[in-house]
């Protein structure tokens, strides 16, 4: 496979009745999953994955920074924060025509969902018309649409839904106990409130977090516990590995100490637990994938990851290129979601 073929993503493999999502997980129960022997944990996660999805299919999404830098938040990992000197120049919101052209190129390169990210603390009403034009134009290309624009009001969420937005991303970042070590300009409850507005507007949620920020295993379990006890599980659940950026507090600590942000096996454990507690979510390998070996990515897919970001760049951090991802899919006998399924597989459903 030299280039990805595109087809709109559809979840044709409905989870079995005994794979219905639970919303009553306790934190000790999630911690207990992390403590399982590695082989047993991955086996359980793979079994849950196969009950709901074709394990050979992976969703392809592409993320574009439509407004880069100058964010008023002080998230300790972020190159786009105005609080830190990272050498990143703040830019204005892109024109809709340019965004749509980039979305068309992403579609032609194989992406099934196109995500638009703006470095804002919260969305301003004055930007809604331009965003609506972007969303409508991207959707007209046959792509699923997603946006991450900071905090929303209930009315703004409704307007984005009316513009055709399918998914809204708003990560919790980490568990509530460690959250204060990551950011102080936005509360955990404000993040939960935005997710509630998105759900109430009828949009799908994209919500996950970042690992490798100095948190403990309990903090990772706490993040997944938060996600698994939401009124509805995230439709997409991105697990980001910290990419240490010079000039950011968390990045500088990692770079100064020379330590690895997170152990590879622990990262796979996190993917596996996410799959078990949120069985119907698309679990996505997000930031940090450029530094992952093919073997690590293969373990993540085995443990239940079934979505990746493609396109060579994730906002301001690198991702593998198309040729590299195509070679990975070929080596692992994977295919883009919904593409190239056999007649026998279709008949068996």
Helices 264-277, 294-302: inter-axial angle, 10-degree rounding = 20
Structure tokens at 37: 């022997």
d(CA 125, CA 134): 15
Residues noted as catalytic: 71, 75, 78, 115, 146, 206, 284
Give the CA diameter of the chain: 57
79, 314 in Cβ contact below 8 A?
no
Which DSSP state fits 71? Answer: B
323, 110 in Cβ contact below 8 A?
no
Residue 25 to residues 82, 188, 267: CA-CA distances in angstroms? 38, 20, 21
Q: What is the CA radius of gyration of the chain?
A: 19
Q: Where does the chain show beta strands of DSSP type E? A: 57-67, 113-118, 144-148, 167-169, 204-206, 209-211, 236-241, 282-285, 307-310, 313-314, 317-318, 335-336
Q: Where does 159-274 show beta strands of DSSP type E? A: 167-169, 204-206, 209-211, 236-241
């Amino acid at each position: 496979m030299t280039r990805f073929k595109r087809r709109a993503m559809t979840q044709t493999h409905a989870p079995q009745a005994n794979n219905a999502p639970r919303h009553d997980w306790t934190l000790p129960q999630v911690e207990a999953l992390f403590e399982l022997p590695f082989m047993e944990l991955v086996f359980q996660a793979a079994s849950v994955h196969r009950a709901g999805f074709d394990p050979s299919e992976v969703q392809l999404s592409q993320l574009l920074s439509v407004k880069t830098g100058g964010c008023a938040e002080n998230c300790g990992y972020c190159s786009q924060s105005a609080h830190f000197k990272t050498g990143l120049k703040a830019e204005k919101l892109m024109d809709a025509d340019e965004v749509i052209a980039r979305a068309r190129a992403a579609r032609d390169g194989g992406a099934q969902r196109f995500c638009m990210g703006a470095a804002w603390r919260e969305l301003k009403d004055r930007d809604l018309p331009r965003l609506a034009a972007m969303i409508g134009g991207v959707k007209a290309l046959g792509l699923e649409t997603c946006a991450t624009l900071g905090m929303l009001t209930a009315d703004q969420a409704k307007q984005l839904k009316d513009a055709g937005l399918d998914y809204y991303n708003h990560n919790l970042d980490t568990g509530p106990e460690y959250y204060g070590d990551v950011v102080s300009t936005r509360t955990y409850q404000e993040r939960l409130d935005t997710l509630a507005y998105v759900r109430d507007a009828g949009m799908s949620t994209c919500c996950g977090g970042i690992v490798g920020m100095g948190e403990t295993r309990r903090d990772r379990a706490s993040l997944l516990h938060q996600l698994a006890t939401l009124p509805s599980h995230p439709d997409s659940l991105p697990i980001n590995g910290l990419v240490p950026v010079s000039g950011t507090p968390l990045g500088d600590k990692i770079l100064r100490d020379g330590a690895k942000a997170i152990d590879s096996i622990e990262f796979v454990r996190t993917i596996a637990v996410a799959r078990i507690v949120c069985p119907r979510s698309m679990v996505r390998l997000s930031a940090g994938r450029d530094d992952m070996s093919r073997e690590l990515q293969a373990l993540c897919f085995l443990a239940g990851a079934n979505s990746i970001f493609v396109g060579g760049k994730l906002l301001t951090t690198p991702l593998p290129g198309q040729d590299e991802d195509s070679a990975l899919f070929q080596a692992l006998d994977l295919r883009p979601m919904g593409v190239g399924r056999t007649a026998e597989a279709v008949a068996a459903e």
